[in-house]
Amino acid sequence: MFQINLNKAYMKSPSFYRWGLFYAYIMAVGAWLFSRLRVPAALLLGPMVVTIALNVTGIPAPALPVSFIDLAQLFIGVHIGLQMKPRELPNWKKIMVYTLVTIVLLVLFGFGLGYGLAHLYELSYGTALLSTAPGGMVEMGLTAVAVGGDASVVTSYQLFRLLVIILLVPLFFKWLTKRYSDG
């Protein structure tokens, strides 16, 4: 059940404010920098890359209160719900069969990859499945936290997939367009 518990004792500690405010500032700088560089998904990737860099260099991150994770899931759910606009998809009946077939195939393929990944690297099935699931990185990472999976493994796999899509797919389509255009 969803409940908001801001853990007031934790939030009043000097450590939370010192490191929490430092991290909030650094994350904002990362988001701003990635936005200025016109990196796709800058508000997601900027803070993530900065956090990874700080973790790799040994600078500790403050633990987020559980309620922050709950609120993140809540807002992502609202955001996804707001994206559903049936009036903007007038041919939904025509594509429904293809959509359902695609969903079933992607989920089955994800299960297969997850099963193999779990056995190959001795991961839990939940972690492996969420790592290979065709979902958003944030959504899969939050789901991993919610179900007790290893969120660092899940987000690592999802981040790699996202980076491949962001960096390589546009180049592939540019090449494909150039190769098969009437020029």
Tokens 């389509």 found at: 173
What whole-number distance in Å separates Cα of residue 174 and Cα of residue 183? 14
pTM listed for this prediction: 0.61
Band of the pLDDT at 2, cuts 50, 70, 90?
very low
Q: Report the chain's C-alpha Rg in angstroms.
A: 20
Whether pLDDT at 104 is above 90 = yes
**pLDDT for the residue numbered 166:** 78
Every domain of the chain and the residues it spans: 7-64, 95-183
Paired tokens of 173: 């389509």
Q: pLDDT tens digits for 128-158?
A: 999 998 888 888 988 998 899 999 999 999 9
2-6, 20-24, 80-84, 163-167: least confident range: 2-6
